[in-house]
């Protein structure tokens, strides 16, 4: 059977503002989306509440980049309903092997307790999914990721859709036309998510306090 989501096709889609989702966990059908209203997290507008700041200061989790991409995707899919089918997981695993897909992970001892994964193209990060198995784990993951992306030269953090959870953290909606303009600018700029170490807790708090 032909690969329905080869890396070249996926990268071309992202560069055009389009992304895929499976109909369900067990479906072979892949649907393509380009929302009229697009969710983004402004890299200078992440909302760090006082309670979240206190939790980050306590450094409850170990934070890592790309330590176990496959386990992060599997954890994101571990819910009653998901669009992450086996074909989707295989496609992003291949993008990860080629250096275009990445995961930021939180661990409590040996346990993977939170994280987010997405695709990079130029200075754009396209967030795909996140998960949380501890209080505030996904929020902490996003705080570290926003700080790291900004320090690494990224210009766009695409969340695809805007949810109430993301809105509480500073995410906003932009029109399709505005998104396309932001995307066109970002993908032409150089940025590398692996070029520098992840920030420490102090840097995350300082950056997101200054910008929020």
Report the pLDDT value the prediction gives residue 212, as an integer from 0 to 100.
61
Burial code (b: 16+ CB inside 10 Å, e: under 16) for 131-160 equals: bbeeebbbbbbbbbbbbbbbbbebbbbbbb
Q: Percent of the chain having pLDDT more than 70?
A: 99
Report the pLDDT value the prediction gives residue 189, as an integer from 0 to 100.
97
CA distance 3 to 168: 38
pLDDT digits (tens, 9 = 90+) for 164-212: 999 999 999 999 999 999 999 999 999 999 999 999 999 999 999 877 6
pLDDT digits (tens, 9 = 90+) for 43-61: 999 999 999 999 999 999 9
| Residue 38 pLDDT exceeds 90 | yes
What is the pLDDT of the chain when averaged over all its residues? Answer: 95
Q: How many residues can be counted in the chain?
A: 212
Q: Which residue has the higher pLDDT, 211 or 150?
A: 150
CA distance 181 to 84: 28
Q: How confident is the model at residue 4 (pLDDT cuts 50, 70, 90)?
A: confident
C-alpha distance from residue 197 to each of 63, 95, 135, 203 (Å)? 11, 21, 25, 12
For 7-211, CATH gives: 3.40.630.70
């Amino acid at each position: 059977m032909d690969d329905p989501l080869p890396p070249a096709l996926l990268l071309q889609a992202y560069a055009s503002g389009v992304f895929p989702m499976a109909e369900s966990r067990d479906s072979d059908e892949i649907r393509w989306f380009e929302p009229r209203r697009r969710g983004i997290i402004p890299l200078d507008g992440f909302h760090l509440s006082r309670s979240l700041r206190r939790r980050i200061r306590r450094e409850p989790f170990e934070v890592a980049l790309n330590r176990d991409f496959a386990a992060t995707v599997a954890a994101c899919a571990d819910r009653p309903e998901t669009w992450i089918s086996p074909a989707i997981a295989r496609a992003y695993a291949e993008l990860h092997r080629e250096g275009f897909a990445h995961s930021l992970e939180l661990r409590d001892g040996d346990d993977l307790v939170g994280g987010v994964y997405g695709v990079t193209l130029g200075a754009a990060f396209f967030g795909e999914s996140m998960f949380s198995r501890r209080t505030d784990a996904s929020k902490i993951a996003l705080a570290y990721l926003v700080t790291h992306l900004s320090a690494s030269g990224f210009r766009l953090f695409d969340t695809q859709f805007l949810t109430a959870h993301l809105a509480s953290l500073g995410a906003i909606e932009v029109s399709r036309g505005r998104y396309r303009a932001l995307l066109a600018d970002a993908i032409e700029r150089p940025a590398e998510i692996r070029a520098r170490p992840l920030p420490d807790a102090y840097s995350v708090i300082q950056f997101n306090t200054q910008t929020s």
